[in-house]
Every structure is written in structure tokens, then in C-alpha cells.
Chains A and B, each alone.
Chain A
Amino acid sequence: MRHNAQHVAARRLAPSRRNLLKSAGALVVSIGAPMPFDPARAAGDAFVAGAKPPLTPDQLSSYIAVNADGTVLAFYGKIDGGQGLHVAIAQMVAEELDVPFKAVKVVMGDTGTSVNQGGASGATGVQEGGKQLRAAAAEARRVLVELAAERLGVSAERLSVDNGVVHTGTEMAKSVSYAELMGGRYFNVTLAWNGKIGNPLYAPGKAKPKDPKDYKIVGQPIKREDVAPLVFAQRDFCTDVKVPGMVHGRMIRPAIAGAVPATVDEGSIKHIPGARVVWNQGFLGVVADKEWDAIKASRDLKVTWSNAAPPFPEQASLHDHIRKAPVRKREVAEQTGNVDEAFKSAARIIEAEYEWPFQSHASMGPACAVVAIENDQVTLWTGSQKPHFTRDGVAAILGLPPDKVRAIWIPGPGSYGRNDAGDAAMDAALLAKAVGKPVRLQYMRDQGTGWDPKGPASIHRARAAIDAAGKMTAYEFGSKAFPRVDVNSNESKPHDTLAGQLTGVALHSGDGFAVPEDSYGFANKRTYWETVAPLLDRGSPLRTSHLRDPIGPQVHFASESFMDEVAAALKVDPVAFRLQYVTDARDIAVIKAAAEKAGWQPRVSPRQDQSGTKVSGRGFAYVQRHPTRVAMVAEVEVDRSTGKIWVRKCTVAHDCGQIINPDGLRQVIEGGVVQAISRTLWEEVRFNTKNVTSVDWLTYPILNITEAPETIDVVLIDRPEIPPTGAGEPATRPVAAAIVNAVFDATGVRIRRAPLSPDNVKSALS
């Protein structure tokens, strides 16, 4: 696959004349215009040219099309970040349409071919995005069967569908294929759209999706077809897009966060072919014809910067800063019973405080974007996981209406939320506008790690009231933290991007945090959060936004550590303790499944039978990421002399309702767990008073393969009757607590601060 400017040209083609079929009866609205050749690419172009029903959420043609050969296109307004999500979507569509799995191609994340289903967001790929595609496919089947009924002169109730052929039964006396009925033409069917865009978009038709007991394709462990092109070097990334006339861009960031260029000496890069400076207030970039020249220009350019006061506290005092900072916003999420009274009358109170650091997406490669502007028509190639929102942001920063911008998502170098991809798209747009040429911008490593939006640092306080009988009667859990979205989780507004903030748009810092999700049925319970203001309000390398399972790892690190602390203080087995208070049947099932699979033998933590340098232990944690449930057992080895932890084995029980593809789901869970082990053991954004100092893999270490677990056992609980829910994020959530609890079991020492790097563990053990 190679991408070039043909899309831009294609959109200027004269509109094709509508060619609606003049068929009789009620079905006249079912068939739209003919689809052009190469529909996967051209469908969007045809839309722009007006040949197709409008690309709006209320049109069936916005989700499903039948090609002339009977194969099916599913237009999906989300993307797959590398987990094979498109396979699950194709399974859901093929199932409802009764076509072979291989007949379905999922076209993802192109604003020219799909509506805004929210991009990758909140582990809703199947839960919301799949739900919509399933509904659309069911409606497409209904329409096709009705068309067949008319064509064959039999009632629709008498018809069945196999492999895309509608027929009258086993004798196949009468039959007609989807290709014959509809191939190469757009549906012209209106759906009952709920009026929402993004994740909650839902637009069902009249058809009811299948009963899960009839599934033949959903639930099967179908493999990904996109692994082979990757290993044979045949699939391009966003970084590989080349457009004729394209120049290379690089951005320049200040040494002291918040400083802006005072003087820029363009003469200092005169010797570099094609090198040009783009400077607007705090926005400073260079372009050159060749990539290496752009890099050299970004290094050689002489810049003096404004006298900015160092904006950050010393890193060692970060959590003290959070403790002392004024509360910007407070929200009580849950209040049951009379918490204060319960604490007053408690026989015993157990309390603890936990700390979590800033973390970086630190994607495998720094973000890249390519922008071509031609006669006010903009094409953006982006790795952003929310391309529809990126389109809106690029349009806004260029002062154009959104329909002048087409954003084409192409897999980027890793994506776990609102990373640097959104900023790169906006920067590339400003560079391209300034130099009047298509621009490919890629950040450098220090910018990918140092200047991406960060997962917020936080402190968490938990208290338990215990009565004379040893029963936990009250629970209070609160967080104080930087907000979850200093910049929003998408880049649709310039104020949520570096480019916007550095060119002077009015700021609008988002807010909010989160509380633990579980079903502990304590009689008196209060959960709340408080946020504090960002350390630097404009263009900050510590601005916060969504990083995989936003707020989940930190909150549940604390809450599930605390449950373990209470269990240990009461001398109760940690699994038994949870089962004593958890009220939800699905929660109880995952807890029991994980414990059973891991061979959990009840006893009180910590172990008392070890001495010497190397000790081992086990830990338990359970979470909801509503409505998915996960329970996990971590078995760890701790080297007391080095502080090094090896998470030798993980056992994960996972209930996300109906399972679409068990093998795909296992891989998703496995990846989520390993990444979360990395975040737990290693990851902490370092900074000094002037700037972030985590700028590469030495200063932002992550897990390496010598530390990967020996075994990750995954127990999948399938509930076909319950709609499928998220899987990309929930398994991330219990990992930190399970590990910390295991370290306590092994050593008897409770570590309340992440990450559990060797230095931190060693000092905790000494």
C-alpha cells in the first residue's frame, strides 16, 4: 500500500449523476447510487462528489456497502491500535449478514468513508463501535432479504441466507445473491440515529440482531490477516506516507518549559538546502527538502528564548506540592450511609496514603503527520486514534470548515490514548500552511517522550473503620491529583493542542478525575476526588490527558492495595476478604476463577517462611471497568539486595460479556497486562524545575524482555447473552495492586508509591 495525493485529486472529479433505481413499491428507498470502482478508497471520494447518500450517521450506506462481487465493506469510525480489533468487527458484521468472514473488509478511521464513532476511546471498539456495525449489518440483511422476497416473489419469512445467497430453503429452488441484489450500489436506507456522535453514536434499523445461540462466526478464534504484511515489510505506517512535493518538518521546543522564542536567526541555517523557519509566537519549526536536513536545521537554528521562570517544583517534592495545592474542583462520587459516624464509633481505623507519578505514552516512535493543502482542500494522514476529531482540530486551526479537511488514519507508531499524534497533526497543518507545500512532520525521540501529554500524578487516601467484631463498617477513598484532562482526550479544539496553545488561543483546561470501580458493599462508603491546577498552564510538557485506562491504574493501585492492607491487618486471606464484601455475582465469579486457576491456597499475608536475599510472594487484585470485570493473581520474585522485582506469573480472569474472538481477546489482555507491569515497575516521568528530563529510553525506562513474565494465564468467562464490553483497558487496571500486594506477601513491606523500580524498592526494604 502506498499513499499519495491521488485522493486530493479524486475529490475534484465532477459529481456523478445520481442513478436511483426506479423500482416499484416500498423498496424504492433501499437502493442508492452505483458505487464506483475500488470502493474501499473511492466510496469516500464519491461521497465528496455527491454520488452517494450523505455520509451521515443516519444512513445505512455510512456503515455497510455490498461490492459488485458480493464482498462487503464495513466503514468503521474507530480504529485498531494494533490489537486486531478489525477482525472482531468483521466477525460481527459477517455474522449478521450471513456472509463468510473473509467476504468482509473493515475500512477504518477515514473521515472520507466513515462517520465519527469516536475513534479509539475508552475500550469501546466492540462495546460501542461494534454494537453499531452489528446493528447496521443486521439492517442490511433485512433490507437485502426484502429485496430478494420481491425479486423471487416469495415472502421474506420463507427466505434464509447462506454465504451471501438468499434462498427459499434447503432445496434452493429459488435463490438470489447479495451481489445480484445490491452489488456495487449503495444502500439508501435511513436509520434511527440517536443524534449523538463519538462513542455513544447509535443508529439501529428495524432489524433485530441475531440471537447469540445462532452464532457461527462470532465466538470463533479467527486469526488476523494483517500480521503477514507486517512481518514481510509490506505494510506502511503513517510515518511512511509520501506526497509529491513534500518537505520534511521538525519542531523546536524550549529548554525551559514556558519560554518562547525571543530571536530566531534564520541565517544560521542558510547553508542547509531548502531550510526554512516557521515562527509564530511560541510555535517554532523548520522545514527542509530532505529529512536529515530538517533535523540538522532544527539543531543548528540559533534561537534565544524569553526569560521564563522555571515552572516546576523539584521532582522530590511533587507529591507534597499536590498535598498542599489548593483544591480546584472537588466531587463526591459516592456517598452511602453515615461515614463520619461510622468512623467515630469504630473500634479500629486503618488508613494509608499512596502516590502515583506522571507517566508518558512514550510511544514506540515519536508521532508523525503529513498534511497537504491544495486550493483550501486539506488532506491529513495521521496516526491519531481519533481522526474525525483531528479533522475538526486541523480545520479549526487553519480557519476552514471541517468538510474541507479529510483525515485519513494510518497506523502510527503506537497509540494508547491522547498521545503526541494529535499535536503532530496540528503542527504539521501550521507548517504546511506556512510553507505552501505538503509537509511530513515527525517529532524526535525527546519530543515524543518529553512533550507528549502525560498521565496525571496523584495521591490517594483510604480509610477503613473496623468494628469490635472485626467487620469493616466504613470505607472512605479519596484522590487529590492533577486533572485527568488538562488537554482533552481528543484534539478537536486548538486549545487542547501545543500548536494552539503556542499560538495564543484562549486556554481551557479540562478537569475531572475518577474513583475506584468495584462492588464492595460496605454499609458506609464515601469516594471522592479533588483536582489541583496544572503546574504550567500553557504549552506544558506535563499537561495531562488520557493514557491507557485513564486514571484506572493509579486509583486501583491504591484502592486494591488498601483492601490488601485491611485484610492483612485483620489477618484474613486477601481473596476471602474480598469475597466477604463484594456483592456483584459477576465480580464474585471472576475473583473465584482467578483464584482457582492460580491454585490459590487461603492464608494470611505476608509469608512468614522465607529468609535470605531472594523471596517470592503472591498478590491479588480485582476491579471493575464497568461493565467489564477483571481479577488477577500476580506471583513475584523479589531480590532484596538489588530491589529488583520479577513478575514471574500472572493469572487473569476476565469477564467482558459476550466474547467475539477468544484468541484475539487473550492477546489483548496479555499486552495490557505486560504494559501495566512496565508502568508499575519502571515508569515515572522525571523532571527538574525547568523541564521534563525523561527524553529517551534511558531516562524513561520501560520493561525489557528479560523481565517479561514466564506465564500469563488468562481465564475467559464468556457470557454470550450479555452485550460485549471493553477489553483493551480493563486488564491494565488490577496489575499494579496485584504486584504490590505480592511484594508485601514476599517481604512484609508495604510499598505505597509507584513505580516499584529497583531503587525505590531497595529504599523501601532498607
Chain B
Amino acid sequence: MDEKFTLNVDGRTHTVTADPDTPLLYVLRDDLGLNNPHFGCGLAQCGACTVHLDGRPIPSCITTISAVGQAKITTLAGLGTPEKPHPLQTAYIEEQVPQCGYCITGWLMTAAAFLRDNKKPTDAQIRAALEELKCRCGTHVAILRAVKRAAAMMG
């Protein structure tokens, strides 16, 4: 049975009606029109659907809307803007990371939380922090360059 939920997404409040078992991913994409979290696997194996819940990266494909509670949701659109970019966004542009770009959300959202909590990380720490993410186009080496560039920007 559908229920009413109030969500705080990227600083805005939304009310939606949905089956409590609906994964947050579909609510963000289909009800709120926030297309950035992507469906990659629906199994929390790839990262394409990553959003932050109170700053913590989570897979929105297996997180039900009823489990969100009062937590603040941040999508990639809320991480930074062209006017006020997150250092990772700047670094991605500088390093020209993309191939297809479908996986970008997972890398940026996961790395943003990691760099916030880990200043001056080593190469091995960065790799370990991002181990669970998938990129099918083989941009891993460019991603490492970008994350290191962002880490340097963040001091």
C-alpha cells in the first residue's frame, strides 16, 4: 500500500507517495526527475546509483524509501555546481576522465566522502576506498589522476 514520504534532497523538501518497499533510486529518478543516480545493477555491486545519506555514500538501488527517514539526501547534482564546483568535479574536468560516464556518480560520490574524511591519502588508500566501484570503459587510471588532483586541491 502506498504511503506518503517527505524527502530532503539536495536541500529541497519533496513529498512523494510510494510503496514503502520502493528503492530510493526509482523515487529520485521517476518521481522527482533527478536522473543522475543511475540503475547499474540493482544489487549494490557497482555504485552507479550512489547518493549520500547524511554524507554517507549508500546504494540507492537497494535502499528503500521507508529506510531513509529524516536523513538528508545528496545527489551528484547537490555535490557542486559549475559556479561552485566540488574539487572532484573540477579535477574530473581537468583530467578529462569520462568515457561513457554512466558510472561517474559512484566514483564522485564515494570519493567525495572519502576525501572529506581522509586528508592527503596515499595511492593505496585511494584505491582501497574505491575498490567496490565499477567502470566498464577502463577509465581507472584517469580516475586515480583526478582523485589525486582533487586530494591535492583539498589539502
Contact = CB atoms under 8 A, between A and B. Distances in A.
Interface of A: 81-84, 223-224, 226-228, 230-237, 239-240, 242, 290-293, 362-366, 411-416, 442, 444-445, 663-664, 667, 670-678, 696-698, 702-706, 708-710, 712
> Which of B77, B98, B132, B138 is the most central at the interface, judged by chain A CB atoms within 10 Å of its CB?
B138
The 3 A-B pairs of least Cβ separation, nearest first, read A674-B138, A82-B99, A82-B100
Contact of B140 (A81, A228, A708): A708
Contacts of A678: 138
Contact of A696 (B45, B75, B92): B45
A303 B104 CA distance: 38
B39 A230 contact: no
Interface in B109-150: 123, 127-128, 130-144
B100 A411 contact: yes
Nearest to B78: A233
B5 interface: no
B40 A364 contact: yes
A350 B102 CA distance: 47
B43 A696 contact: yes
A81 B100 contact: yes
B155 interface: no
A704 B110 CA distance: 15
Contact of A362 (B103, B127, B128, B136): B136
B134 A702 contact: yes
Contacts of A226: 98
B80 interface: yes
A708 B141 contact: yes
A240 B21 CA distance: 22
B97 interface: yes
B59 interface: no
B39 A365 contact: yes
Given A231-B89, A696-B45, A698-B45, A706 B77 contact: no
Interface of B: 18-19, 21-23, 26, 29-30, 33-36, 38-43, 45-46, 48, 75-77, 80-82, 85, 88-89, 92-93, 96-105, 108, 123, 127-128, 130-144
B134 A414 contact: no
Contacts of B137: 82, 364, 414, 671, 675
A654 B101 CA distance: 25
A442 B96 contact: no
B42 A444 contact: yes
A396 B80 CA distance: 46
Given A292-B18, A671-B139, A697-B46, 11 more contacts: A231-B89, A234-B77, A292-B22, A362-B136, A365-B48, A411-B100, A412-B102, A671-B99, A672-B138, A697-B134, A706-B127
Contact of B96 (A227, A412, A702): A227
Contacts of A703: 138, 140
Contacts of B132: 704
Contact of A364 (B81, B82, B136): B136
B104 A704 contact: no
11 contacts: A224-B98, A232-B80, A233-B34, A292-B21, A412-B100, A413-B102, A414-B136, A670-B142, A674-B140, A702-B134, A708-B141
Contact of B138 (A444, A663, A670, A696): A670
A292 B19 contact: yes
A102 B144 CA distance: 29
A54 B70 CA distance: 57
A413 B40 contact: yes
Given A233-B77, A705-B133, A706-B131, A364 B102 contact: yes
> Which of B46, B81, B123 is the most central at the interface, judged by chain A CB atoms within 10 Å of its CB?
B46
